[in-house]
A and B are shown apart, each in its own frame.
Chain A
Amino acid sequence: MAFLELQELSKSFGRTRAVERLSLEVEQGEFLTLLGPSGCGKTTILRLVAGFEQADAGRILLDGEEITTRPANRRPMGMVFQSYALFPHMTAEQNVAFGLRLRRLSPTLIHRRCEELLALVGLADRAHNYPHQLSGGQQQRVALARALAVEPKVLLLDEPLSALDAAVRVTLREEIRRIQQQLGMTVIYVTHDQEEALAISDRIAVMARGRLEQLGAPEEIYRRPRTVFVAGFVGASTRLPARLERAADGHCRLGEILLRVPPQPELSDGAAVLLVVRPELVTLQQLEEADGVAVDRSQSQEQENLLTGIVELRTFLGAVTRFRVRADGGQLFTVDLPGLQARTLVPGQRVLLAFPPEACLVLPYGESEAEAAAGRSGRAAVVGQVSPEREPQPEHA
């Protein structure tokens, strides 16, 4: 039996279904992240677990005990809010001590515990500062110490880093992970930032429209997305609608081109699929004008998929440079190249695109999914992607 179980949870606000029959299990000491776009229901789940909202249906079990209807102040949960929610009239130490005072611990014990916790979050010298005298990052550290003070069985973090600047966000998320591992704390973390989710989680639950799309380890979510939504939401990718010609052999038709993909024995010939290719798995090679038609496909096609195209956009992202390349067949590809390789490529240049069959993730792609993907990807925040690439790619095929 899992430490925290959510069984068939449903919650509506008026006519809006925020969470729909969601089941989820969290193990003790696990760091689980609820990831999804705004309005997908991830914060509602956290609030249901915290007891700030009551579920319309379903059950919540903690350590085998049902807590579905238990008031928030009687649940062994700690909560860290996006807006810090520190009590403005109390110092950092008094904020941390608040929960301990309610438990009527001795003043000596409270003082010692506050000192330990403020030291844990690196704010031992700020104990007597009021919230307004602290920076955003420091306030959130105090909020974390305050939540940890009451030794909750589950720590809930609701987009705790959203209000902080980029540098503080990275530092603090590493701190949160360090503290979680140091204390062996069970954590549910809500974010819409996929990079944050991939960086600190043991498992990620990707959500859309109040439902669980996929649950798995960060690498699994990134490398093997199971749905079109997850493929589009987590990480940058090129998404190409295609049709399987010989599913068992992994032959796939993309317009006029025949691509090699991993064999798909479970799919039938002629099935509509979506090919998902991560940008770092595609390579680019500069072509001279005359070479454009002289690519000897017969030799290399067995190993790699080769296409020719023109660089449309070049975006420098620091460690990598991102290219938008329009293939001769009209498809748009997103390609990430390390700095050195990217140096010579500029917009307008003809290039050879190459990617191995294993780089192609094949997802069944019906009409409804196509519509859903088109609808979702407009809202989905994809870190690192330049805005033109956020538009759904399949329309160009």
Chain B
Amino acid sequence: MRSLFRPRHRKPGQDVGQPSQHLANEGGLLPARLALALALLYLLIPLAATLVFGLSGSHGWGDLSSLGAVFGDPDFWQTLLTSLGLAAGTTVLVILLLTPTVYQVHLRLPQVQPLLEALALLPFAVPPIVLGTGLLQEYNGAATNSPLVDLLSLGLVPLLSNVFPLLDLPLLLICAYVIVALPFAYRAIDNSLRAVDVRVLTEAAASLGAGWWRTLLLVILPNIWPGILTAALLTFSTVMGELTLASLFNTYTFPIYLNMTGQNDPHRAALLAVLSFLLTLLCVLGMVPATRPRTGGGRAALPGQIEGAGPR
């Protein structure tokens, strides 16, 4: 009697003793594909609906007048550029501030790590409206007489608010965004640093003559690059979608433009939402190649993982 489980098209020498792989190919893959399709539908249906709504103007489906109006609106370009500038500035500042700090904490002050983690989580506990109001109060000169603020900021707040018109500069908004983006960026960089043996790599570089900065730039950064890019991406998208702080700081940004347009013309607002999504998607896709490790595509062997081959 012919077995039901007999492979019908077995080639000579073909390995048949891999039931798990067989299952993965035949039975395991279908549910996975189904789950993926459902997830994609869940994500894409609202987006498609938004796009369809955006393109359904007064002349019915396929009305591109809304799209033309969006691109023809000078406010669109102005706010987009403002937001891009703020996002870029915040991203650069976050990376420049956090990377050396977290590296130094990992290297020299590991006991401070819990404190840094708590500080990094603090922005979650403080709503942006509180943060914005607080910053505006501090820097508009009203609170600079407070000795407590003077003391806690080591005299920096009164100095800055009296000498520079910080409220008129986007720098203060960027600083506020840095605080908002801190939890996401810190976590990404911290996780990357935990994945490499920072101390040993630093000592190895030092024994070869590299100082602190050279070690950071030539040895540490290339190994935590995916984490840096993740931090940059998270910071960038956070700023691109931030509304509350920008409103408080009276800065006309893309999210505010989006909000105002939505109140007057929902079709344009829908198109703007899709454009905003595509912009973020482009950023992500642009960063993906850079996040691939430049180590031949594999995972570094850990000490103690000895291949049987030994030295050849």
Contacts and interface: CB of A to CB of B under 8 A. Distances in A.
A136 interface: yes
B311 A138 contact: yes
Contacts of A77: 207
Contact of A52 (B201, B203, B223, B295): B203
A150 interface: yes
A102 interface: yes
Contacts of B306: 135-137, 163-165, 168
Contacts of B300: 88, 130-132
Contacts of B295: 88-89, 130-132
B204 interface: yes
A165 B310 CA distance: 8
Contact of A139 (B204, B211, B301): B301
A83 B204 CA distance: 11
Nearest to B203: A52
Contact of B209 (A73, A82, A85, A130): A73
Interface string B192-222: 0000110011011111111100100011001
A283 B218 CA distance: 61
A130 B305 CA distance: 16
A102 B214 contact: yes
Contact of A84 (B210, B303, B310): B303
B179 to A, nearest CB: 32
A141 B206 contact: no
Given A89-B222, A102-B208, A136-B303, A172 B200 contact: no
Given A89-B223, A89-B294, A141-B311, A163 B207 contact: no
Contacts of B304: 136, 163
Interface in A81-125: 81-89, 98-99, 102-103, 122
A167 interface: yes
B301 A136 contact: yes
A88 B196 CA distance: 9
A130 B296 contact: yes
Contacts, number: 125
Given A81-B200, A85-B200, A73 B310 contact: no
A258 interface: no
B212 to A, nearest CB: 9
Contacts of B201: 85, 87
Contacts of A167: 310
Interface residues of B, number: 35
Interface residues of A, number: 49
Nearest to A78: B207
A146 B223 CA distance: 19
Contacts of A71: 206, 211
A52 B311 contact: no
B133 to A, nearest CB: 45
B312 interface: yes
Contacts of B17: none
Nearest to B225: A89
Nearest to B304: A163
23 contacts: A52-B203, A78-B207, A79-B204, A81-B203, A85-B203, A85-B204, A87-B222, A99-B208, A99-B209, A102-B210, A103-B209, A131-B301, A132-B298, A132-B300, A133-B298, A135-B311, A136-B304, A136-B306, A137-B306, A137-B310, A138-B312, A150-B209, A171-B311
Interface of A: 50-52, 71-74, 77-79, 81-89, 98-99, 102-103, 122, 129-139, 141, 143, 146-147, 149-150, 156, 163-165, 167-168, 171-172
Given A102-B214, A131-B295, A164-B306, 10 more contacts: A73-B211, A83-B197, A85-B197, A89-B294, A103-B209, A130-B295, A130-B298, A138-B312, A156-B207, A163-B303
Q: Would you list the 10 A-B pairs with minimal beta carbon distance, nearest first?
A: A99-B208, A79-B207, A85-B204, A137-B311, A83-B303, A72-B206, A132-B300, A163-B303, A135-B307, A130-B296
